[in-house]
Amino acid sequence: MNYFNFILQSAYDDLRRNKIRTFLTSLGILIGVAAVVLILAFGLGLKVFITSQFQGLGTNLIFVLPGRVLSQGGGGFRPGAGTLGGIRFDEKDVLSLKRIEEIEYVVPYSVKTVQVQSKGKSEIADIRGTTEDDSVINNAEMDQGVFFARKDVEKKSKIAVLGQTIAEKLFESSELGLGKTIRVENHRLKVIGILKKKGDLSHNADSSIFIPYTSAFVFNQDKKFFDIHIQLRDYKEIEKVKEKIKQTLLKRYKEDDFSVIEQTEILDTIGSILNAVSLLLVALGAISLIVGGVGIMNIMYVSVTERRKEIGIRRAVGATSQDILWHFLVESVLLSLFGGLIGLGLAFIIVFFIQKFFPAYIDLNSIMLALGVSSLIGIVFGVFPAKKAADLSPIDAIRYE
Amino acid sequence: MIKLKNIWKEYKIDKDNTFTALKKIELTIQKREFTAIIGSSGSGKSTLMHIIGLLDRPSQGEVSIHDKNTSSLDDSEISKLRNEYVGFVFQQFHLINNLTVFENIILPARYSRKKLEYDPKEKAFELLHRFGLTDKKMYYPNKLSGGEQQRVAIARALIMNPELLLADEPTGNLDSKNGEIILDILKELNKKDNLTVIVVTHDKTVSNRARRSIQLKDGQILSN
C-alpha cells in the first residue's frame, strides 16, 4: 500500500466507523450542493426555454424601435412595451428602408390596446396593424384558416387573424372562431385565420389580433407605426445593414430618437438578467454550504480531541506532524465530497422528475462546480482542525486519557 | 551510541512557577546494553525515556545519537529517526483500538519514507509467529488479554528493525506470569537480536534483570 492509499484508507475507515455522524455532518453540504445545482439547472432550463421561445419569433431579424434601448443607454429592452420615447415611424420610413438592397422584408407594426367584443364576450387585446409579410418573418403557423394577403392590405379589408389565446377567450374554443365577426371600437372585423400557439415571449402574439395596417389606420389615425421588423437576405451582413438602416433613418430623425437592435442582443440582455438572478440565488444556496462547512469544522475539532491519544501513538511510531495534518485534511475533504456527491445525486433525481413540467438541465459545469466547491469546503474548513491535530505535541497527545 | 549532555527539562506550571523534571542529566548508553532506569513515580524517569526516545525535547542540553546532535533536527527529521531507530513499549500498551493486530504491527512501516530492504508484511507475519499471535492477527486489540496486547506492542516496536527498544513500565499492567513472559522477550531481544534495551521501572524485580541500572530521584541521577 503506498502512502496516499494508506492515508485515504485510514480516513475512509474512520468515516465508515461513524456512519451516522458522517451522514449528519455532510448533510449541510448535501443540501447546499443540491440547492445550488438545482438553481443552476433551473436557470439553464429557463434560458433554453426563452431561447426556444424567441426562435419562434423568426430568425435573422433586426428591430427598429423608437427611443433608446439596450447598450445605447436605455433601461433595457421591453418587448411590446408602450412608447419608449422618441419618434414614431410612418409609411415613408418603410419605403425608404425597403430600398436597402440587403433587406428582404420590412414589416411595420402599429399597436393599440383595445376592447374586443364577440357575442356577449369582451376582452382586452393588442391590435396589431402589419403587412402580410409578418407571417413570413415570424414563421406564423396557422391553426385554422389563412393569414391575410397583400391584396387585403391594399384593399384595407376588414379582416382579422387571431392569436390562439385571445381566440380561446373570445369563443368557447378556438375552432368556433373562424368565420365569425368581432367588434373593435364599433368596427366589425371578420376572423379569417387563427394562429397556433407561439409562446408568450414572441411579442405577446398569442393575445394579439393581426390586421392589415391599412385597415388599422381607423384605430390609429395619425398613421404611425410603433416599430419595424426587418429580415435580411444574408445574416452575415447584419452589421453593415444595421449601419445602413441607421444612416437612412438619420436623414429624418436624431440619433436618440430610435434604436436598431438585433435578436441576439435581446437574448443577451435576457441572458444577463437571468444570470444575475441565478447568481443571487446561488449566493443564497452558498450560505447553506458555508453552514455545512462550519458543521464539518466543528465535528473535525471534536474528532481531533477524541482521537488525541491515537494521534500521540501515531506520532510515537514515526508519523510526522505533516502526516497527521494529511490524515485529518483528507478526512474532512472526503466528508465534504461525500455530501457533495449525494447532493448532486439528489439534484439529478429532482431534475429527472421536474423535467416533465419544466425544462431543467444539469450541465458538466454544474457537476464540476459542485464537486470542486465541496472539495474546497473540505479543505478550507478542515485545515484548522487538521492543523490543531498536527501541532499537538506527541507526548501530551499520548498521555491524554 | 546515545549520549545525553547536561539535560534539563522544565515545565511551566503557571506564570511564575516552573517544575524541573530533569536536572543536569549526563548519561551515555552503549550499543547492546540492557539498562534499567529506576525511580519512584515523579522521579522523572518517564520524561527521561521520552527524551531518549525523541518523543520529547529537553529544555536545555544535547541528545546525541551515534555522535549526531539531534537538537537541530526539525519535526520530520526527528519523526524519521523515531520511526527507524527507536521502538516503544508502553505500560498501557498504546495500541490503536480501531486497527487490527496486524494493522497495528505494520503501522510504523506505513509512515516510513525509507525504502525498506524487506517486505514489512512478511516481517509482520514473522513477528506474529514469533510472539504466538498468528491466530489473533485480525483481532482488534480490545479483544486481547493484557499479555497479548503487550506482545503486539513489542511486535510493532520491532517492525522497523530498530536499534533501540524503549520500554516504559512494560509489566506494570500485567500479572506476574505475563510480566515474566514480557521480560523474557526483552532479554532475548537484547541477547539474540542484539538490541539496545532500556527499561523504565519502579519495580526492583524488573531492574534486577538488567545488567546496568540507573537510579533517578527528583530528576537527578542518584547512582549509575
Region of B32 please: left (phi>0), alpha (psi -120 to 50) or beta.
left
Per-residue cell: A60: 435573422
Contact call for B108 and A317, based on CB within 8 A = yes
Residue B78 confidence (pLDDT) above 90: yes
What was the pLDDT predicted at A205?
81
Q: How confident is the model at residue A58 (pLDDT cuts 50, 70, 90)?
A: low
Give whole-number Cα distances, A343 to A23, A39, A363, in Å.
12, 13, 15
Please name which of B27, B45, B20 lies closest in space to residue B203, comparing C-alpha atoms. B45
First to last CA, chain A: 31
Q: Is A129 helix (H, G, I), strand (E, B) or coil?
A: strand
Give percent of chain B with pLDDT exceeding 90.
80
B50 touches chain A (CB under 8 A): yes
Q: Interhelix angle for A19-55 vs A364-391, to 10°?
A: 150
For residue range A22-32, what is the model confidence (pLDDT) as tens digits? Answer: 999 999 999 99
Rounded Cα distance, B104 and B131, in Å: 14
Residues 6+ apart with CB under 8 A from B158: B87, B127, B165, B189
Within 8 A of B141 by CB-CB distance, chain A residues are none
Secondary structure element (H or E) that encloses residue A265, with its range: helix A263-306
Secondary structure element (H or E) that encloses residue B132, with its range: none
**Cα A392 off chain centre by:** 52
DSSP assignments along A141-155, one per residue: -EEEE----HHHHHT
For residue range A145-166, what is the model confidence (pLDDT) as tens digits? Answer: 999 999 999 999 999 999 988 9
Which residue blocks in B40-118 are alpha helix, DSSP H? 45-52, 75-85, 101-110
Domain that holds residue A21: 3-52+269-399
Task: Count CB-CB contacts under 10 A for residue A376.
Answer: 15
**Cβ distance A263 to A230 under 8 Å?**
no
Do A329 and A221 sit in the same domain of this protein?
no
Optimal mutation site among A317, A323, A393, A400, interface B, most CBs of chain B within 10 A? A317
Residue B91 confidence (pLDDT) above 70: yes
Contact call for A312 and B83, based on CB within 8 A = no
Contact call for B88 and A316, based on CB within 8 A = yes
Give whole-number Cα distances, A108 to A63, A213, A232, A287, A310, in Å.
10, 8, 15, 50, 81
For residue range B105-142, what is the model confidence (pLDDT) as tens digits? Answer: 999 999 998 888 999 999 999 999 999 999 999 999 99
Within 8 A of B94 by CB-CB distance, chain A residues are 309, 312-313, 316, 398
For residue range A168-177, what is the model confidence (pLDDT) as tens digits? Answer: 888 877 778 8
Residue A79 confidence (pLDDT) above 50: no
B76 touches chain A (CB under 8 A): yes
User: Does a structural domain hold residue A79?
Assistant: no
Angstroms from A386 CA to nearest CA on chain B: 16
Per-residue cell: A9: 484508507
User: Does a structural domain hold residue A253?
Assistant: no
Q: Interhelix angle for A321-354 vs B75-85, to 10°?
A: 100
Angstroms from A324 CA to nearest CA on chain B: 10
Q: How many domains does chain A have?
A: 2
Residues 6+ apart with CB under 8 A from B131: B151, B152, B154, B155, B185
Within 8 A of B111 by CB-CB distance, chain A residues are 314, 317-320, 323
Nearest to B111 among A13, A318, A393 (CB): A318
Exposed e or buried b per residue across A76-93, where buried means at least 16 C-beta atoms within 10 angstroms of its C-beta: ebeebeeebebbbbeeeb
Residue A344 confidence (pLDDT) above 90: yes
Residue A83 confidence (pLDDT) above 50: no
For residue range A250-300, what is the model confidence (pLDDT) as tens digits? Answer: 998 888 888 888 877 777 777 788 888 888 888 888 888 899 999 999 999
Q: Is A392 helix (H, G, I), strand (E, B) or coil?
A: coil
Residue of A nearest to B75 (CA): A320
Comparing A301-315, A320-334, B202-216, the range with the smallest average pLDDT is B202-216
Please name which of A3, A309, A317, A10 lies closest in space to residue B110, comparing C-alpha atoms. A3
Do A201 and A291 sit in the same domain of this protein?
no
Element counts in chain A: helices (H) and strands (E): 13, 10
CATH code for the domain in which residue B183 is found: 3.40.50.300
Rounded Cα distance, A212 and A182, in Å: 15
Q: How confident is the model at residue A56 (pLDDT cuts 50, 70, 90)?
A: low
Rounded Cα distance, A191 and A180, in Å: 6
Do A337 and A219 sit in the same domain of this protein?
no
Give percent of chain A with pLDDT exceeding 70.
92
Contact call for B88 and A323, based on CB within 8 A = no
Q: Is B117 helix (H, G, I), strand (E, B) or coil?
A: coil
Region B186-203: what's the mean pLDDT?
93
What was the pLDDT predicted at A108?
94
Three-class DSSP labels, A64-126:
EEECCCHHHCCCCCCCCCCCCCCCCECHHHHHHHHCCCCEEEEEEEEEEEEEEEECCEEEEEE
Q: How many domains does chain B have?
A: 1
Q: Which of residues 166-205 of B touch A (CB under 8 A)?
A: none
Rounded Cα distance, A321 and B197, in Å: 27
Secondary structure element (H or E) that encloses residue A257, with its range: none
- Among A165, A199, A227, residue at a domain's last position: A227
Domain that holds residue B218: 2-223
What was the pLDDT predicted at A71?
45
Contact call for A316 and B95, based on CB within 8 A = no
B11 touches chain A (CB under 8 A): no
What was the pLDDT predicted at A301?
95
Rounded Cα distance, A42 and A67, in Å: 34
Nearest to B55 among A1, A3, A395 (CB): A395
Pairing of strands B2-12, B60-65: antiparallel
Optimal mutation site among B46, B78, B81, B111, interface A, most CBs of chain A within 10 A? B111
What was the pLDDT predicted at A76?
42
Rounded Cα distance, A101 and B213, in Å: 111
Do A275 and A202 sit in the same domain of this protein?
no
Within 8 A of B113 by CB-CB distance, chain A residues are 3
Task: Count CB-CB contacts under 10 A for residue B198.
Answer: 25
Which residue blocks in A307-363 are alpha helix, DSSP H? 308-316, 321-354
Question: What length does chain B have?
Answer: 224
Region B45-66: what's the mean pLDDT?
92
Within 8 A of A1 by CB-CB distance, chain B residues are 110
Size of interface A-B (CB pairs under 8 A): 63
Do A280 and A171 sit in the same domain of this protein?
no
- Amino acid residing at A89: F
Rounded Cα distance, B145 and B132, in Å: 13
What's chain B's average pLDDT? 92
With 0-12 CB in 10 A as exposed, 13-18 as middle and 19+ as buried, what is A364? exposed
Residue A57 confidence (pLDDT) above 70: no
B64 touches chain A (CB under 8 A): no
Rg of chain A taking only CA atoms, in angstroms: 32
A17 touches chain B (CB under 8 A): yes
Within 8 A of B53 by CB-CB distance, chain A residues are 316
Residues 6+ apart with CB under 8 A from B93: B141, B146, B149, B150, B152, B153, B173
Q: Which of residues 315-334 of A touch B (CB under 8 A)?
A: 315-323
Residues 6+ apart with CB under 8 A from A2: none
Rounded Cα distance, A264 and A269, in Å: 8
B94 touches chain A (CB under 8 A): yes
Please name which of A87, A88, A99, A36 lies closest in space to residue A248, comparing C-alpha atoms. A99
Angstroms from A21 CA to nearest CA on chain B: 17
Rounded Cα distance, A247 and A150, in Å: 29
B9 touches chain A (CB under 8 A): no
Residue of B nearest to A2 (CA): B110
Q: Is A211 helix (H, G, I), strand (E, B) or coil?
A: strand
Please name which of A29, A12, A34, A84 lies closest in space to residue A366, comparing C-alpha atoms. A34
Rounded Cα distance, A183 and B47, in Å: 105
Nearest to B75 among A313, A317, A321 (CB): A321
- Amino acid residing at A314: R
ipTM for the assembly: 0.94
Please give the DSSP secondary-structure letter assigned to residue A243.
H
Nearest to A317 among B56, B75, B83 (CB): B83
Nearest to A319 among B50, B88, B111 (CB): B111
Angstroms from A395 CA to nearest CA on chain B: 6
Q: Is B213 helix (H, G, I), strand (E, B) or coil?
A: strand
User: Does a structural domain hold residue A31?
Assistant: yes
What was the pLDDT predicted at A78?
44
A20 touches chain B (CB under 8 A): no
Nearest to B112 among A13, A313, A318 (CB): A318
Within 8 A of A395 by CB-CB distance, chain B residues are 50, 55-56
User: Does a structural domain hold residue A319?
Assistant: yes
